[in-house]
Amino acid sequence: MIKVNNLAKAFGTKRAVDGVSFSVERGEVLGFLGPNGAGKSTTMRMITGFIPPTEGTVTVGGFDIVENPIQAKRLIGYLPENAPAYTDMTVYGFLNFTAEIRGLRGDARKKAVNRAVEMCFLESVLHQSVETLSKGYRHRTCFAQSIIHDPDVLVLDEPTDGLDPNQKHEVRGLIRRMGEKKAIIFSTHILEEVDAACSRAIIIDRGKIVANGTPSQLRQKSEWAGAVTLRVSGINAVALNQKLTQLSTVKRTSILKEDATSVTARVFPRVEVNGSLASSIADAAKGWRIEELHTEEGRLDEVFRSITMPDTPEAAK
Amino acid sequence: MNAWSNIKTITKRELAAYFSSPLAYVFIVIFLLLCGFFTFMVGGFFERGEASLVRPFFDWHPWFYLFLVPAVGMRLWAEERRVGTLELLLTMPITAWQAIVGKFLASWLFLALALALTFPVWITVNVLGSPDNGVIFCGYVGSWLMAGAYLAISCITSAMTRTQVVSFIISVVVCLFFILAGFPPVINLLENWAKPGLVDLIASFSVITHFEAFQKGVLDSRDVIFFLSLIGFSLFTTSVILRTHRAG
């Protein structure tokens, strides 16, 4: 549904987005990750046709956003960053206006507004002016606006920003459910949302895509992936370290904590062999007792940090 | 057809926005008070003893509009940019032109309403004497066109900034130029050191010069075209400014 090809945007000499290419098909939820100022919002603004690209093309449902903006925009629902809405209108008036400008009239419009109100839980504030709404409600009002015409493509810029944990949970659920039938792109810097809602994630840094894959593929990039964390008793840290490094499956170990009764250590594998590291450690346990042992899956936040902060020791290696 | 329904939707929203705040009512009241005061007190409506609205009523309009129209137009784009709804509006399946025309029409209709509410002045002059109503109608048309020209200029300045006050000040200055270029004292001053051809050229840019004909009851196509082309050009400039902003 969405095809982004070699997209670039220059503001003066600064290239905010620099050669980004990806595509999103129906039934996919693409998480767009990146540090602040990485070019997430700029990319989304180009996809939705708000700002023209310096280079490259965007097509939505086969329509080029520059050549055929009207047809392309009809397919898109867009929640801009900070969820703007006309403050002088009531929630109902605002949704009616957006439905009308989307070409919905009469009964179709009424139905669309009611559906969006129901999905975003806005009944209680329907006749309140947008100005008086709390941030969460205002956010949901703007979200309702983006789904009012039941679009095939949804572009959501930080849809959970400013929501309380319950609302975040609701919105993620909503995105996941809608993602079954639509093509969705949403940006976030909350990594747990990637697991909760995305079928695929892209990490963008300084205008370039630095990682692209399913959440579990991304997690594999972590150097923690396949590492084993264990807590043992009956041995001191130095001896444990020595014993473990003798094993052929172990690359290195690091002692996380040592106290009177137990030692906690993390063991990194030499090759990507998950199960055998744990079992070889278990086999080696003689004279000391394993109290806890589990294999790490790899953590997204650690992947995110190592990719987007080239000065950290992890990335320097 | 589709374009018109989009424009209508936007116009409707903008008009509603005016009346959702007390600002619109305050504006109308101030405008009507000014009209009444200047017509009957300063303009010497009764002392003249003639059944006409030309001097006592319409003569003041270029000056009222100088402050009132930029106040009406200043929020059009500045507010959209400040709140961020511009991003919403321009990612809807409408063209920038439809948005620009829709917003302009809403404000222009609002000004038409304010102007129409001066009808008691018209009733008064009809009760007291028998004026040429054709001339008065012509004056109203000219006044409305002139307001439209000011408004279109305010559209430009509003699109240039996200602060309404800045927009207001700039458009007052620009509109002042369009008045002064044909204001008799200024024209007299210019005649002292400029060639007559040049003075005429400058004066031909003034709204006063063109409004004058309407006041006399002359509906000259050149004057109508002047105002309409000023509006058209200003709205075009607005679209260029909006596009440049988005292009970064």
Q: Give the integer Cα–Cα distance in Å for A50 and A35.
A: 22
Q: What is the pLDDT of residue A85?
A: 94
Q: What is the pLDDT of residue A271?
A: 67
In terms of CA atoms, which chain A residue is nearest residue B245?
A: A51
pLDDT, tens digit, for every residue of B42-95?
Answer: 877 777 777 777 778 888 899 999 999 999 999 999 999 999 999 999 999 999
Which CATH fold topology does A228-296 show? Alpha-Beta Plaits (3.30.70)
Q: State the best of A41, A88, A132, A141 to mutate against chain B, taking most chain B CBs within 10 Å.
A: A88
| DSSP symbols for chain B | -HHHHHHHHHHHHHHHHHHTSTHHHHHHHHHHHHHHHIIIIIS-HHHH--S--TTTTGGGHHHHHHHHHHHHHTHHHHHHHHHTHHHHHHTSSS-HHHHHHHHHHHHHHHHHHHHHTTHHHHHHHHHHS---HHHHHHHHHHHHHHHHHHHHHHHHHHHH-S-HHHHHHHHHHHHHHHHHTT-HHHHHHHHTTS-HHHHHHHHTT-HHHHHHHHHTT---HHHHHHHHHHHHHHHHHHHHHHHHHHH-
Per-residue pLDDT band for A310 (boundaries 50, 70, 90) equals low
Q: What is the pLDDT of residue A273?
A: 56
**Considering only residues 174 to 203 of chain A, which have any Cβ-Cβ distance to chain B shorter than 8 Å?**
none
Low-confidence ranges of chain B (pLDDT < 70): 1, 248
In terms of CA atoms, which chain B residue is nearest residue A65?
A: B91
Q: Give the integer Cα–Cα distance in Å for A312 and A127.
A: 51
Kindly give the interhelix angle for B133-160 and B119-128, rounded to the nearest 10 degrees: 160
Q: Does A76 touch chain B (CB under 8 A)?
A: yes
Q: What is the pLDDT of residue A142?
A: 93
- pTM of full prediction above 0.90: no
Strand pairing category for A2-11 and A14-24: antiparallel
Strand pairing category for A63-64 and A55-60: antiparallel
Per-residue pLDDT band for A317 (boundaries 50, 70, 90) equals very low
Q: What is the pLDDT of residue B235?
A: 96
In terms of CA atoms, which chain B residue is nearest residue A12?
A: B248
In terms of CA atoms, which chain B residue is nearest residue A48?
A: B91
pLDDT, tens digit, for every residue of A12-52?
Answer: 888 899 999 999 999 999 999 888 888 899 999 999 999 99
- Cβ-based contacts of A43 with chain B (< 8 Å): none
Domain span at residue B213 reads 2-247
pLDDT higher for B156 or A188? B156
Q: What is the pLDDT of residue A274?
A: 53
Say which of B5, B20, B88 has its CB closest to residue A80: B88
- Cβ-based contacts of A80 with chain B (< 8 Å): 84, 87-88, 91
**Considering only residues 95 to 114 of chain A, which have any Cβ-Cβ distance to chain B shorter than 8 Å?**
97-98, 100-103
Say which of A48, A86, A93 has its CB closest to residue B85: A86
Q: What is the pLDDT of residue A82?
A: 87
pLDDT at residue A118 greater than cutoff 60: yes
Asked if A298 and A222 touch (Cβ cutoff 8 Å), the reply is: yes
Place of tokens 């839980």: A121
pLDDT, tens digit, for every residue of A127-174?
Answer: 999 999 988 889 999 999 999 999 999 999 988 887 888 888 888 888
State the nearest Cα–Cα gap between A60 and chain B, in angstroms. Answer: 13
- Cβ-based contacts of A100 with chain B (< 8 Å): 9
State the nearest Cα–Cα gap between A304 and chain B, in angstroms. Answer: 29
Say which of B84, B93, B248 has its CB closest to residue A51: B248
User: What percent of chain A is predicted at pLDDT more than 90?
Assistant: 42
pLDDT at residue A284 greater than cutoff 80: no
State the nearest Cα–Cα gap between B22 and chain A, in angstroms. Answer: 11
pLDDT at residue A71 greater than cutoff 80: yes
Inter-chain residue contact A97 with B13, CB threshold 8 Å = yes
**Residue among B148, B138, B107, B140 at smallest CA distance from B121:** B140
Q: State the best of A9, A47, A96, A101 to mutate against chain B, taking most chain B CBs within 10 Å.
A: A101
Phi, psi of B11 (to 5 degrees): -60, -45
Question: Is A54 exposed, middle or buried, given 0-12, 13-18 or 19+ CB atoms closer than 10 A?
Answer: middle
Which CATH fold topology does A2-213 show? Rossmann fold (3.40.50)
User: What ipTM goes with this model?
Assistant: 0.88
State the nearest Cα–Cα gap between B169 and chain A, in angstroms. Answer: 24
What's the length of chain A?
317
Asked if A73 and A186 touch (Cβ cutoff 8 Å), the reply is: no
Q: What is the pLDDT of residue A145?
A: 94
Say which of A70, A84, A89 has its CB closest to residue B88: A84
In terms of CA atoms, which chain B residue is nearest residue A90?
A: B20
Say which of A51, A52, A73 has its CB closest to residue B92: A73
Q: What is the pLDDT of residue A303?
A: 77
Q: What is the pLDDT of residue B1?
A: 53
Asked if B133 and B125 touch (Cβ cutoff 8 Å), the reply is: no
A253-276 average pLDDT score:
76
Number of domains in chain B: 1
Cβ atoms < 10 Å from Cβ of B134: 10
> What residues does each domain of chain A span?
2-213, 228-296
pLDDT at residue A206 greater than cutoff 70: yes
